[in-house]
Amino acid sequence: MPSAHQAGHRQRGRRPDAQSARERILDAATDVATEFGYEGTTIARVSKKAGVSATSIYWQFADKDEMIAAVIQRSYERWAAIIDLPESQARERALEIGRHVASALTRSPEFLRFGLKLMLLGQEQRPAGHEIYLNTRQVEFERFAALIRDADPSLSERGVNLVATYAIAGADGLFLAREIGGDDVDFVALFELHARLVFGAAIEIIAADERGSSEV
């Protein structure tokens, strides 16, 4: 079986046909992982789904972990390319923020769908993709934290972190509600409401708490 170093070396010199095969494998791995989860994702299943030999998969990836890590990385890059959050005036543009997040999750749901499944694995089972997922979520956390600071510059870093954590946890919950409820869930309206609450009530509550604490 090729080593990770050998796999990475081959990828840097990848020909167009090899790139096409890699994308086909990643598409198949995404589908298999979404259906069966990490434990149920096997090279054999991905091979059958992609219509390529197991040898072809091992030519691209050292092992299942490296393949899953590539799935996570690609899904994040697609998500990041779609979402386009405003850089300022977050309070005034809360509805727009909600629509942007809902649209990105509708068009590229794999990042959150598979990533949340990885988070449910026991510590001893977590693959390389787990760390990639955590790192990419931290990038998005900082992105939302910047919007929250813009909405209320008086908030402490603790306050910013509380609101950003609440915002992302709520988005996770709304995504799961759609996974469970399907098309019956008005995804855009829910995210618009969530964004209005985050950039309105949530920030105001934390800011009021901090002002009250400073006056004691």
In the chain, what are the domains? 4-62 (1.10.10.60), 82-215 (1.10.357.10)
Distances (CA, A) of 207 to 59, 152, 155: 54, 8, 6
Question: d(Cα 74, Cα 31) in Å, to the nearest integer?
Answer: 13
Angstrom distance (rounded) from CA 52 to CA 50 = 5
Q: Specify the pTM.
A: 0.78
Q: Is the pLDDT of residue 136 over 50?
A: yes
The pLDDT tens digits for 159-179 are 999 999 999 999 999 999 988
User: In sequence order, what E strands does the chain have?
Assistant: none
CA distance readout (Å), 101 to 79, 109, 182:
10, 11, 17
